[in-house]
Amino acid sequence: MTGDIRITDSHCHLDFPDFDGELGEVIARARAAGVHRMVTICTRLRQERAVRAIAEAHAPVFYAAGTHPMSAAEEPLATVEELVALAAHPKFVGIGETGLDYHYTAESAEVQQQSLRIHIAAAQETGLPLIIHARDADEDMARILTEEFRNAPYNCVMHCFSSGPALARAVLDLGFYLSMSGIVAFPRSMALREIFASAPVDRILAETDAPYLAPPPHRGRRNEPAYTVHTAQMGAEVFGMDWTDFAAQLEANFERLFPKAVL
């Protein structure tokens, strides 16, 4: 990546032990690649202080916090008041990640749904975007997001979107965003690329979900924010756009959804 092209890794996990001892180098590699901004995500609220410290120590890094659905049964339920208080921090830019995951943790579906509604209420109150994890729960996800949107509008990104076309249509109809991860660049992800290609290009973000889901040519290795470039370049192909124009579109989309993260 060269010249003035800049993009954002809208979702990574820089507090994970995979980056211990080399966080400075990881952020430097991202910036050298043109990834000038990152949002690191806290998945358990008891770790919020450590995630906040990363954002405070590194100018290109912003953060969000919530309770990941796979942890919802293991962690104390967040409260709306707790999340709203966290949102006062100048580098706190989103609510989550929250959501539903029935792939490994279907037995906790009820508490996941309760947790999700709490996070939605915090997004409604703060005006910050909701960051959603969805896996094998498309019907419940579409139903809850739609029900709560009818109660009070809010904005949202479906992070690492890899669900089906029905959920994509449901959330796009609400004005929400879909985020591309490295999965979109996997050779067997043609159906997913088709879902993205049918979405409005002004509703697309790019992310790594680092340290997971590294795109080719790094597949199978630890992911890091610099590799957002590979996913975004695949996105340009999906939409049939010039790389410079698509990168600019991604930046405009991110800053529309995450106005607190405008540098």
- Structural domain contains residue 2: no
The structural domain count of the chain equals: 1
Distance CA 98, CA 133 (A): 6
- Structural domain contains residue 83: yes
Identify the bridge partners of residue 99 per DSSP, sorted by sequence position.
133
Tell me which residue range forms the domain holding 194.
7-261
Average pLDDT of span 74-97? 97
Please tell me what DSSP assigns to residue 101: E
- Please name the residues in contact with 234: beta carbons below 8 A apart, sequence gap of 6 or more: 180, 184, 185, 193, 215
Residue 207 has pLDDT above 90, yes or no: yes
- Structural domain contains residue 26: yes
Tens digit of pLDDT for each residue in 91-132? 999 999 999 999 999 999 999 999 999 999 999 999 999 999
Residues 156, 138, 123: CA angle, nearest 5 degrees: 20
Can you give the CATH number for the domain in which 154 is found?
3.20.20.140
Residue 1's pLDDT is 45
- Structural domain contains residue 1: no
Distance CA 171, CA 149 (A): 10
- Structural domain contains residue 241: yes
Identify the bridge partners of residue 9 per DSSP, sorted by sequence position.
38
Phi and psi at 154, nearest 5°, equal -160, 170
- Structural domain contains residue 194: yes
Mean of pLDDT over the chain: 97
Angle, to 10 degrees, between the axis of helix 23-33 and the axis of helix 228-239? 30
Contact 168, 195 (CB under 8 A): yes
Residue 4's pLDDT is 82
Residue 263's pLDDT is 78
Residue 219 has pLDDT above 90, yes or no: yes
Average pLDDT of span 191-199? 98
Which pTM was predicted?
A: 0.96
Distance CA 114, CA 117 (A): 5
Contact 7, 38 (CB under 8 A): no
Average pLDDT of span 76-99? 98
Residue 119's pLDDT is 98
Q: What percent of the chain has pLDDT over 70?
A: 99
Q: Which structure tokens are listed for 26?
A: 């990881």
Residue 3's pLDDT is 59
